[in-house]
Structure 1
Amino acid sequence: MTWRHSLHAGLLALGCGLGIDMDATAETRPPAPAWVVTPSQAGDNLPPAGRSLFDQLFAVSRNGQSSIELPYPFAALLERLDRELARDPASPLPPAKRVLIPLGRSLQRTAAAPDYFGFPRVVVAVDTESGAQSPFFLKDRLYIGYQEKSAVLEVISYNEAAGRFEFQLVKDYRAGGRPQVYYANRNLCFACHQNGSPIFSRALWDETNANPQVAGLLAASGRAFYGIPPDRGVDIPYAIDNATERANGLALTQRLWREGCGENELAARRCRAGLFVAALRHALSGGQNWAPDDNFRQTVAAPLQQEAGRRWPGGLAIGNPDLPNRNPLAGQDNWPEERAARIARSHVAAPFDPLLPRQTRDIWRPQAADALRTTIAGLAEFVSAADRQALDQALARQRGLASTQHTAPCRIERAASRWSVRCAPAAGQSGPSIDATLAVRGGRPTTGRIERLTLPGGTALINIELTSRSTDTGFALRWNGRLPRSADGQALTRLRVQPEAGQPDAGMVVLDSRADFATVEQAVAALLASPQGETLFGAGVIPRTALFAALLARLDSPRPPPCCQVADTLPPPRLEAVAAVPGGSADTPMEAGVQGFFPYCATCHRSAETFPPNFLSGNATQVTARLRQCAPRLYVRLAMADLAPEQRDKTPMPPESMLPAFATDVAGWKNSPARAALLAQVDTWLRAESGQPPNLNALLANGYEALRPCLPMP
């Protein structure tokens, strides 16, 4: 009897002893959630549609030929990014956030060994809106890693047409080089990026130059780092962390849009149209809590809940972009002089390894109270600042719209230069509740600020600026640089404070709203009924650009500047390297023991790149020599499957998150004949060297990084 049969029999005996019906127990077990992005299913390496945002941003056309041109040096590339983005004049932070990571966890982590602090890796994230002149939607959608020593850029950027992040490499990014842009092997990328999007450390970001010890060693190197100050607080890594969190949610939104409402029948398209309107309302109102009406509940909320419950009864598991915080200098008072001691500090222990399978970030459940709000807020992340501005301007041009006055009694505390105004509706009445401070000149309020404004229906705003209107005695309202809106999307256009005659401490507030958002609802309804409706609201990826172009056209508004046509004429995208199955070579046939490594290792280790080591590239003689060179490390990574997770110094190979791609799991791989054969082959190579069987503890006595590297040092 095998161990599986023994365990199963033991469980059956235990169940019978307790009087439990095991089949009934299985039937009542709640269904497991489905992954939004399955870690072992990376998808096609090349884009199934469109191009990456990185391609679009750097595409140029010269003499009728399109190509990708990258500014060099890296400081120039950063300047180009910053020029595309809106700059906050009140913030000292650059628009594109960047940190220095000398001892990190990327594939390039050993490229600068042992001079890690002279050549740190740079991580760049775009977390701000694009500038007024930029046609690109970059916020949370572009991330770049740069390692000067390897002359490589690692790029993650969004592909709107495919509804996913693309992974790319830029090689030969150096002085005098000819940078070449490739799409990367997604299976390799997914081993760490198990959520299909950017990942980053949790606080306190001790790998970065937010760590004072790291910053001090960077400064001591005496190098300039592409204009990036080595001494930096936690504000920038915190901003990058937030950007990756938002980026992580894009896949959930795409999945819910594509499948949550059903297929392409009219009811499903009506559901998506309602979600789009709700997302616009959410974006224009600053994310206020709108109370859905009966029509929305019937056409959107109920169908979404029913369809999602049918498709994903256990909910949708959201991938986790967070890595545990790691301090590579923990316990290190001084940076060592010895090369081996420095290299030892690049070791990434198993608990901190991005290859370690990560638990879900959260589970979206269709029956949860916040499920609909999460869906709407996620869709609102596809509305850029330029989209909001264009829509606001289109609504401002609408004429003949109804206005509503909201009134409430006020208490006014008057001083020579300031009035404090507190307004609230009488008991049983509806109206605004307002706390405001007005600046007074010549006995007349001229400017002011609403500290708090609430209205029935969910409207709740703070810090609204008030400026005098030249046409009347009221105030114009501005909130975060634009017209404030109620939770249901209506523009709040004018505020008047009217003191009561003969009672200086009493008065009335009148707040005007303009019912312009109804024109958005009407325009979307017309689009839904038009021939475009089947495409715009069909069961595909979110057609963001087409949706806004069609909406603005319905509102008789100028469309935003076109984006990215040059990228459409680029040469076909190229794959960095194709993972291939083993074959014979011209000089020597491939030995069976060597061939056994290809099914499980070639996806990541047969490439043109040396990070990770490409020990399966070359002819039979070269591959065999490289495997022998790598034998100590291969043995450790294969043997780790025999240890309990808490006992492991390194993560096992292949990465456990990728095992389903090999039609197995953790237990299956541990006990598989395939792993046993690989271990036996490595054992043979190591015995031939030392005359002794390999011993895991002995191999790791001086640390994993002390083992000879998989590729001979140059």
Structure 2
Amino acid sequence: MSPRKALLTGLLGLVCAWAAVVQVLAAELPTPVRVVDPADPGENLPSRGRSLFDRIFAVTRGGQTKIDLPFPFELLLARLDAQLQSDPASALPPAKRVLIPLGRSLQRTAAAPDYFAYPRVVVAIDRQPATAAAPLLKDRLYIGYQEKSAILEIISYNEDAGRFEFQLVKDYRAGGKPRVIYANRTLCFACHQNGSPIFSRALWDETNANPQVAALLLASGRRFYGIAPERGIDIPYAIDNATERANGFALTQHLWREGCGATDRAAQRCRAGLFAAALRHALSGGQPWAPDARFEQTVAAPLRDEGRRRWPGGLAAGNPDIPNRNPLQGVANWPPDRAGQLALAHVPARFDPLLPRPPRGSWQADDPDGLRQLVTGLAEFVADPDRLRLESSLARTPTAPLRVTLPCRIDASVPASRWALRCAAKGGMLLEGSLFLHSGRPTGGQLTRLTLPGGTALNNLELMLIGQATPSRATLLAQAGGRPARTAEGNAIGRIEFRRGADPTSSDYSGEASVEIRQEFPVLEQAIDRLAAGPEAATLFAPAPLPREKLFAALFAELGAGAPTPCCQAARLLLPPELEVPAVASGQSPGAAGETAARAFHPYCAACHQTAETFPPNFLQGGPAEVASKLRHCAPRIYVRLAMADVAQEQREKTPMPPASVLPAFATDARAWRESPARAVLLTLVEDWLHGETGHPPQLKAMLAGGYEALRPCLPPH
């Protein structure tokens, strides 16, 4: 053997050996546990609590409590906006809304072919409550509205159950009687595979951020509920960010419930420590905090141990992103014919939200960033009014302040209207900025940078003058966004006093800065410790969904701040939540063959297609004769969806049915379903119907020659 050939043979052997090692290692690695199983959506109706949508629109009048929805849609949007913080410096509305004429929702064909006259509206809340009495809707409420079907599709959070609820409002129209019902979660989870809202990735070309979409909306000549057709990417970007944060709630709740262990006192103290850490994160503006020995022993170590035991492969977090899709890609002009217009509603398989989405990374117990990820997620449950009330309560608490002093160099040469400061001391302490002068006296200033022990790193703080200043001395308060600046430990930064040396012959003076730090956060920790040791600990820090409202009520009472303003009390008096169950219709029997067909399709299709809704088509709803007729009418589309399982994934025109994400509920997967006798039976039935109708066996390629949307609709025309 030549040396070259021997070398190649040796290298090939090494590659094969390494591949074998990798294969063995991969087989031994534990599999991450999915936080939410798409095939296990949970009960359709909440076992506890109500959705936020129910709570904010529940009213009591004349002794009767019901959900009262403003109409038209502009009034509903105004009601939402009124409960949210507004930003005078921003042109964006509090409740973000976009127009999507050619989308991917169940309602995507409801306005056909008048897509641009009746676009679907998508609304997302990404702002904090306007007042303490308003509910926390940020990232927790999403609404889809399609005027032509008179339906609102709702995704809103249920804090008591620790999950998003899926709802429909039917008959939402002028003169209608809107009816709020809870939706079939199995149907919803086919797309919303993490049990939370989903949204497109950038550049959001389905929305009116796409100039071509906006132009066609304008050309329709209609008004769109006060929503401007021409819009940049700022609003869809905000919605995208909201869905990203909402997608993390499931992981946060999962770790809160199970990460600390069972119901013993140690587990309760662990959750109490997590609650304190979330408040510190919120108060400090998210500054990184280095855990102390107590936190390590009470929270971090138990969380790591429990995580290794429960989830050795980690926790797999869901993915809310679906691919960006431009429905007008390559379309120069809107087609004048109905067939061409309908064709543009087609959603190719690669863009279908039914496609299984792999998890977005995993939470690992030993990941150095894992604890911070959990604390950041818990801080999303701290509303701005709660934080402001905490700050106000702590500010009234007597504390012994800590003072740190830094020597300074003060440059007053250029310009003469300010002092340039640079103060530094051992331990990484640094203060840099400017004091503004009038007649030689400081009037205010700005800190470009403030670094203190314990991880505090603040930028661009405003300095507000307190009392009278002299040419050599000034006392100021540091603020961030109009709030008192805080350290990474959650303590308020009090007065900052500047003293300048007395050498009038030089423009480069020495001096010092004295920074006062109010030790407030220990007061908050002590209050939480008392709750964790008190009679309510088993409820407040139980292995159950985070009881946000009860926790804050108990904490404010412990701090002597009084009970917070209760929100949404009328919802407690609502009738039990309702799930719309399709009526069992009677009809003339279609015969044994028709009944056999219905029975064959029922186990795999009824969850989505035996409903009172026509989106998706309810071809299994009705009496035997009606169902048999619908099945035959829908045969072309059913055949395509069943036959797609035989097509290579990259060549599929449409996604197969049932969706791959729900197949585990039938104890199968995509490969096993493709080869299963059950699918063969369904396919044979549909092939026989089509053969009998056309006189020849169906051919998938020929059926799709004109496009999927050119196939006969599933439901017969009314």
TM superposition score category, shorter chain reference:
over 0.9
Letter of the 1:462 counterpart:
N
Unaligned runs of 5+ in 1: 1-13
Q: Paired residue for 2:452, among 451, 455, 458?
A: 455
SS of the equivalent of 2:45 reads coil
Letter of the 1:433 counterpart:
L
- Alignment partner, residue 356 of structure 1: 355
How far the C-alpha of 1:25 sits from its partner, in A, is 3.3
User: Matches of 1:629 and 1:500 in 2, distance apart?
Assistant: 92
Letter of the 2:557 counterpart:
A
Shift in alpha-carbon separation, 1:24–1:359, aligned structure 2, 3 A: closer
User: Matches of 2:23 and 2:332 in 1, distance apart?
Assistant: 60
User: Matches of 1:650 and 1:463 in 2, distance apart?
Assistant: 53
Alignment of 1:628-707 (within 5 A): 628-707=632-711
Alignment of 1:34-73 (within 5 A): 34-73=33-72
Contact 2:132/2:386 (<8 A) preserved? no
Letter of the 2:419 counterpart:
W
Contact 1:85/1:129 (<8 A) preserved? yes
The reply on whether 1:474 has 2:467 as its aligned counterpart is: no
Query: How high is the TM-score relative to the length of structure 2?
Result: 0.94
SS of the equivalent of 2:457 reads strand
Alignment of 1:285-324 (within 5 A): 285-324=284-323
- Alignment partner, residue 74 of structure 2: 75
RMSD of aligned residue pairs (Cα, Å)? 1.9
Q: For 1:402-461, what per-residue CA distance to the aligned partner results, in whole angstroms no more than 9, with x for missing partners?
A: 101122122222132222212211xxx236312212211121111111111111211111
- Alignment partner, residue 139 of structure 1: 138
Contact 2:590/2:628 (<8 A) preserved? no
Contact 1:274/1:300 (<8 A) preserved? yes
How far the C-alpha of 1:558 sits from its partner, in A, is 2.6
Q: For 1:259-287, what per-residue CA distance to the aligned partner results, in whole angstroms no more than 9, with x for missing partners?
A: 01101011111111111111110110011
Alignment of 1:361-400 (within 5 A): 361-399=360-398
Moved over 6 A (4+): 17-24
- Alignment partner, residue 565 of structure 1: 569
Q: Paired residue for 1:546, among 538, 550, 565?
A: 550
- Alignment partner, residue 423 of structure 1: 423
Contact 1:579/1:602 (<8 A) preserved? no
Letter of the 2:513 counterpart:
V
How far the C-alpha of 1:28 sits from its partner, in A, is 5.6
Contact 1:491/1:516 (<8 A) preserved? yes
Contact 2:133/2:566 (<8 A) preserved? no
User: Matches of 1:491 and 1:320 in 2, distance apart?
Assistant: 38
Contact 2:484/2:493 (<8 A) preserved? yes
Shift in alpha-carbon separation, 1:88–1:491, aligned structure 2, 3 A: same
- Alignment partner, residue 239 of structure 2: 240
Contact 1:407/1:431 (<8 A) preserved? no
Unaligned runs of 5+ in 2: 1-12
Shift in alpha-carbon separation, 1:290–1:713, aligned structure 2, 3 A: same
Alignment of 1:201-350 (within 5 A): 201-350=200-349
Q: For 1:345-384, what per-residue CA distance to the aligned partner results, in whole angstroms no more than 9, with x for missing partners?
A: 0000001000000011121111111101001111111111
How far the C-alpha of 1:18 sits from its partner, in A, is 7.6
SS of the equivalent of 2:517 reads strand
SS of the equivalent of 2:483 reads coil
The reply on whether 1:444 has 2:448 as its aligned counterpart is: no
SS of the equivalent of 2:442 reads strand
Contact 1:604/1:612 (<8 A) preserved? yes
Contact 2:492/2:517 (<8 A) preserved? yes
Contact 2:606/2:620 (<8 A) preserved? yes
Shift in alpha-carbon separation, 1:201–1:28, aligned structure 2, 3 A: closer
Contact 2:687/2:697 (<8 A) preserved? yes
- Alignment partner, residue 498 of structure 2: 497
Q: What number of residue pairs does the alignment pair up? A: 693
Alignment of 1:160-171 (within 5 A): 160-171=159-170
Letter of the 1:338 counterpart:
D
- Of all paired residues, the percent bearing the same amino acid is 60
How far the C-alpha of 1:609 sits from its partner, in A, is 0.4
Letter of the 1:487 counterpart:
A
User: Matches of 1:21 and 1:361 in 2, distance apart?
Assistant: 27
Letter of the 2:81 counterpart:
D
Contact 1:579/1:603 (<8 A) preserved? no
Contact 2:244/2:320 (<8 A) preserved? yes
How far the C-alpha of 1:22 sits from its partner, in A, is 11
SS of the equivalent of 1:470 reads strand
Q: For 1:472-521, what per-residue CA distance to the aligned partner results, in whole angstroms no more than 9, with x for missing partners?
A: 84112221221111001111011122111216522111111100110111
Contact 2:598/2:620 (<8 A) preserved? no
Shift in alpha-carbon separation, 1:557–1:695, aligned structure 2, 3 A: same
Letter of the 2:449 counterpart:
R
- Alignment partner, residue 403 of structure 1: 401
Contact 2:204/2:324 (<8 A) preserved? yes
Letter of the 2:576 counterpart:
P
Letter of the 1:97 counterpart:
K
Contact 1:85/1:134 (<8 A) preserved? no
Letter of the 1:184 counterpart:
A
Q: For 1:270-313, what per-residue CA distance to the aligned partner results, in whole angstroms no more than 9, with x for missing partners?
A: 11111111111011001101000111111111100010111000
Shift in alpha-carbon separation, 1:135–1:641, aligned structure 2, 3 A: same
- Alignment partner, residue 199 of structure 2: 200
- Alignment partner, residue 485 of structure 2: 484
